[in-house]
């Protein structure tokens, strides 16, 4: 596939033919994540000393934003929990919640999804529980992050022109949390912004990611959050 010698008018068709993930794998992975989300909503807090529930789940990552690249992609399930009443609550209780989520995740995978394998990689992102879904031939994979978060935005209007209340940001600035620690609280804003852009922007993102993977990154490695 020679992107450099492809005429501009043919780039969209090149993306559709060569850069999009396997539809069969994506369908299987999304079914698995849908099943996991339903399981978390149903079982969250049953065994916890201080019960928690799931207010809502926001899907992000490249899969949620429609910028997943063929081969490997990432998905993010942001779990907005009832036990987080503030940014500080999220900071204090995050490790406890992640431990409970890992137990629930391992129990959920006792019934494997047809056509997929499951593994825990090295956990190298603070505040996130990571796992990988892969096709059985290992040609396609999805790195999934479960992120417990404080519902700072509340019910979010789908109109991207409607901005959150200023207090959302002033409260964050006045908290004692580290920079970037609560980015997941605003994942719906990022997802909605990208999803309302023209398809050509998503194709451009895919072309840039393809170039980056070919030129800058070793095989089978993705930049986090792409």
Note whether residue 225 is domain-resident.
Answer: no
Break the chain down into helix, strand, coil percent, rounded to 5. 45, 15, 40
Note whether residue 170 is domain-resident.
Answer: yes
Q: What is the C-alpha to C-alpha distance for residues 223 and 68, in angstroms, rounded to an integer?
A: 12
Note whether residue 123 is domain-resident.
Answer: yes
CATH value at residue 94: 3.30.460.10
**What is the number of domains present in the chain?**
1
In 3D space, the residue among 120, 33, 108, 45 whose CA is nearest the CA of residue 78 turns out to be 33
Q: Find the distance separating the first CA and the last CA of the chain, reported in whole Å.
A: 22
* Domain assignment of residue 31, given as a range: 8-215
Mean pLDDT, the chain, rounded, equals 84
Taking only the tens place, the pLDDT of each residue in 83-131 is 999 988 998 898 889 998 988 888 888 877 888 999 887 787 888 999 9
Note whether residue 115 is domain-resident.
Answer: yes
Note whether residue 29 is domain-resident.
Answer: yes
Taking only the tens place, the pLDDT of each residue in 137-159 is 889 999 999 999 999 988 775 55
């Amino acid at each position: 596939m020679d992107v450099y010698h492809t005429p501009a008018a043919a780039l969209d068709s090149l993306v559709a033919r060569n850069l999009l993930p396997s539809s069969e794998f994506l369908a299987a992975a999304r079914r698995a994540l849908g099943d996991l989300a339903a399981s978390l909503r149903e079982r969250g807090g049953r065994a916890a000393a201080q019960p928690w529930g799931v207010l809502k789940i926001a899907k992000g990552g490249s899969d949620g934003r429609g910028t997943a690249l063929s081969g490997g992609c990432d998905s993010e399930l942001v779990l907005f929990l009832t036990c987080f009443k503030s940014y500080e609550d999220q900071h204090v209780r995050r490790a406890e919640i992640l431990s409970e989520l890992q137990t629930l995740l391992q129990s959920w995978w006792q019934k494997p999804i047809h056509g997929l394998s499951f593994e825990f990689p090295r956990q190298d992102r603070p505040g996130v529980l990571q796992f990988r879904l892969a096709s059985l031939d290992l040609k396609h994979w999805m790195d999934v992050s479960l992120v417990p978060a404080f519902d700072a935005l509340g019910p979010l209007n789908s109109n991207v022109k409607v901005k959150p209340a200023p207090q959302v940001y002033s409260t964050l600035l006045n908290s004692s949390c580290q920079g970037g620690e609560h980015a997941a609280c605003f994942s719906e804003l990022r997802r909605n912004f990208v999803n309302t852009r023209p398809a050509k922007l998503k194709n451009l993102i895919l072309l840039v990611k393809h170039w980056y993977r070919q030129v800058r990154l070793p095989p089978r490695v993705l930049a986090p959050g792409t």
